[in-house]
Structure 1
Amino acid sequence: MLTRRALFKTASALCVSVANLKRVSAAGPKLNTTVAFDLPRGACDAHVHVIGEPAEFPMSPDRDYTPPAATADDLVEMLKFLNIDRVVIVTPTIYGNDNSVTLAAIEKLGRDRARGVALVDETVSSERLDSMMKGGIAGIRLFLGGAGVFRPEAAAKSLQAAVDLANTRGWHLDIAAPPDVVAALAPQLAACPVPLVLGYFGWVAGGVRQPGFEAVLSLVKSGRAYVKLAEPYRLSRKAPDYDNLVPVVRALLAANPERLLWGSGWPHVDSPPVAGRSNTDLAPNLPVDTGHLLNLFAKWVPDAEIRRTILVENPARLYGF
């Protein structure tokens, strides 16, 4: 799997489209926009991060950025404000392979409404993995390609190592990889014995004609992979409605709505490099309106039954709620 340093560099390469968003100085934008549609019972936000207080949850010295705290208490407030019942907490790269903050947040919210996705490397012990599973971890986050030259053999090895760890525990792989990488690894991905989740709309920043998008669609059509409709601001410069992503959403819906998830990306960390900012300088979060993102999802998916499939049934199946 990726080394810690490579992991941070690869994760940073993902976030290339936030230059038009001004930074905010608080822990996150205020919750201003309420939900404009009826959320089904059991609705799930499948992609959030928790940033603990530094004294309790120290960040890795190798991190690329330093976000303000966005605690489990803050997360509970956000979920309550938006009437979201369930959540998937993804360990951010600032903690390296230490998943303590995610596990603590799951414990606070309870296993009936929270699951986690962990960052691990090849040194992790079986005992540690088993402990994380008992704590509510349901998957492994994996970065493939996106930073520097893509090395297919190394990526294939990282993928197989993650599969080996996940397979005996009933976990899934939460993969960040651009479509060309997905296309290069398509046979291996299609043969994976564990569920796959492709993040960030499949990382299709270039639209439906982007090379490799057909490989993403093929995995979705076959049921081999889920795609998270999460954090559109990582891919599109057309805030706040991200209209250029509508064709991508339509193509994914046409492929297989039973393999789509929705995630907010709260608290919307500002992870890309910024000129003159060191990795220890405070990186204020992005001024993204989480309620607007949820309402935007309803606009993209106007059918209430399909929304229920994406918000309730799909995450319940994948994460074991």
Structure 2
Amino acid sequence: MLNRRSVLLASLAAGVAMTNRAHARAAQPATPINFDVPAHACDCHTHIHGDVEKFPFFAGRVYTPEPASPEEMAALHKALHIERVVIVTPSVYGTDNSSTLFGMKARGATARGVAVIDDKTPESALDTMHQDGFRGIRLNLATGGVNDPNVGRPRFTAAVERMRTRGWHVQLYTTLTMISAIKDLVETAPVPVVFDHFGGLDASLGLEQPGFSDLVALVKSGKAYVKISGAYRSSKLAPDYQDMVPYARALITANADRIVWGTDWPHPDSSRVEGRKPTDIAPLYQIDDGRLLNQLPVWAPDAEVRKKILVDNPARLYGF
């Protein structure tokens, strides 16, 4: 059983509801890795939830996660035999990327970051972020009222235009419906486009579900990358998520040069739960990332393809 720890949250600084609940540690792998992980492998999707007194949450967030520290992340990647990491600013911080930067500095040269910005973020701040190792921005087009294509299309266009001269990529947390709605914009985008978590598909709906063929087409053409990450968000078949096999294989077969892998550690629960307020603590999912990584050889039996997914593609996309 995992050890427990009590974390004192500063309610005034962070706007977090105080509870007597002892907070769980972020998940650590319980299953040993059963294949040879290539040197310089990268986990392309993680988050850091720092000390809430130093890194207060955004008042407009829709959930409040438990803590997840750089030390815990280092232990995770030691167990997974993974050297490199991409840390993504989660929605709970709004446009404050300081917790992500904190995690990146703890990791050093083996870390890259993906930031959240808005139209008030000055170019000088982006220049500094680039020096610090940020290589992309993330748009959330799945929640909070922005899942309307009439909102998503102009937001995506504005993000692409802003990144055009910088060489950063635009990462999207979205749905297959939105991907279909912006497919034409992605096809002509002058910067790399990256879709989180299998493009937000629902494994129970089958390969013919609306939008999946558009995602595959964008990958096949080389116009988009997809993170084969967060399988538990698309599938209910824990712990091995067998129903994700055909989706992963379809995307990899379409273009193995446009696939990257990630844990989505520390596995925050951003779902809306009846009776749970945004300021209430949302427990982290306890996912066995060793077992999750062991699915990669099932999805990609060829070792050279796995090297592309874990090493070559991240090196190209994030500039390692």
Q: Same fold (TM over 0.5)?
A: yes
> Shift in Å at residue 124 of structure 1?
0.9
The equivalent residue for 2:61 is 63
Q: Which amino acid aligns with 2:63?
A: Y
> Quick check: 1:128 aligned with 2:118?
no
> Quick check: 1:287 aligned with 2:280?
no
Question: What are the superposed Cα offsets for residues 170-203 of structure 1, whole Å, 9 maximum, x if unpaired?
Answer: 1001112212211121111100000011111121
CA 1:109/1:145 → structure 2, altered by over 3 Å: closer, same or farther? Answer: closer
Alignment counterpart, residue 38 of structure 2, candidates 40, 43, 66 = 40
CA 1:145/1:72 → structure 2, altered by over 3 Å: closer, same or farther? Answer: closer
Q: Distance in 1 between matches of 2:200 and 2:48?
A: 22
> Shift in Å at residue 152 of structure 1?
2.9
Q: How does 1:1-321 map to 2 (within 5 A)?
A: 25-111=23-109, 113-145=110-142, 150-205=147-202, 206-321=205-320
> Shift in Å at residue 149 of structure 1?
8.1
Question: What are the superposed Cα offsets for residues 209-231 of structure 1, whole Å, 9 maximum, x if unpaired?
Answer: 11111111111011010110000
- Which secondary structure state, in structure 2, belongs to the residue aligned with residue 140 of structure 1? strand
Q: Distance in 2 between matches of 1:149 and 1:71?
A: 30
Q: Which amino acid aligns with 2:70?
A: A
Q: Which amino acid aligns with 1:52?
A: G
CA 1:49/1:149 → structure 2, altered by over 3 Å: closer, same or farther? Answer: closer
> Shift in Å at residue 146 of structure 1?
5.3
The equivalent residue for 1:3 is none
The equivalent residue for 2:3 is none
> Shift in Å at residue 153 of structure 1?
3.4
Q: Distance in 2 between matches of 1:83 and 1:272?
A: 30
Q: Distance in 1 between matches of 2:103 and 2:167?
A: 21
The answer for unaligned runs of 5 or more in structure 2 is 1-21
Question: What are the superposed Cα offsets for residues 254-304 of structure 1, whole Å, 9 maximum, x if unpaired?
Answer: 100111010001111111122222222221111110111101122221111
Q: Which amino acid aligns with 2:172?
A: I
Q: Which amino acid aligns with 1:129?
A: L
The equivalent residue for 2:10 is none
Q: Distance in 2 between matches of 1:271 and 1:148?
A: 15
Q: Distance in 1 between matches of 2:207 and 2:213?
A: 8
Q: Distance in 1 between matches of 2:233 and 2:96?
A: 24
The equivalent residue for 1:20 is none
Q: Contact between 2:194 and 2:225, CA under 8 Å: does it hold in 1?
A: yes
Q: Which amino acid aligns with 1:288?
A: I
> Shift in Å at residue 239 of structure 1?
0.9
Identity of aligned residues (%): 45
Q: Distance in 1 between matches of 2:206 and 2:123?
A: 40
The answer for unaligned runs of 5 or more in structure 1 is 1-23
- Which secondary structure state, in structure 2, belongs to the residue aligned with residue 185 of structure 1? helix
Q: Which amino acid aligns with 1:62?
A: G
Q: Distance in 1 between matches of 2:60 and 2:129?
A: 23
Q: Distance in 1 between matches of 2:66 and 2:179?
A: 33
Q: Contact between 1:207 and 1:245, CA under 8 Å: does it hold in 2?
A: no
Q: Contact between 2:235 and 2:244, CA under 8 Å: does it hold in 1?
A: yes
CA 1:204/1:32 → structure 2, altered by over 3 Å: closer, same or farther? Answer: same
Deviation larger for 56-65 or 261-270: 56-65
Q: Which amino acid aligns with 2:221?
A: S
Q: Contact between 2:26 and 2:72, CA under 8 Å: does it hold in 1?
A: no
TM-score (ref. length: structure 2)? 0.89
Q: Contact between 1:50 and 1:105, CA under 8 Å: does it hold in 2?
A: yes
Question: What are the superposed Cα offsets for residues 78-118 of structure 1, whole Å, 9 maximum, x if unpaired?
Answer: 1112110100000011101100011121112112x100111
Q: Contact between 1:246 and 1:300, CA under 8 Å: does it hold in 2?
A: yes
The equivalent residue for 2:11 is none
Q: Contact between 1:28 and 1:285, CA under 8 Å: does it hold in 2?
A: yes
Q: Contact between 2:58 and 2:94, CA under 8 Å: does it hold in 1?
A: yes
Q: Which amino acid aligns with 1:316?
A: A
Alignment RMSD (CA, Å): 1.7
CA 1:57/1:139 → structure 2, altered by over 3 Å: closer, same or farther? Answer: same
Q: Contact between 1:145 and 1:155, CA under 8 Å: does it hold in 2?
A: no
Q: Distance in 2 between matches of 1:110 and 1:253?
A: 30
Q: Alignment length, in residue pairs?
A: 298
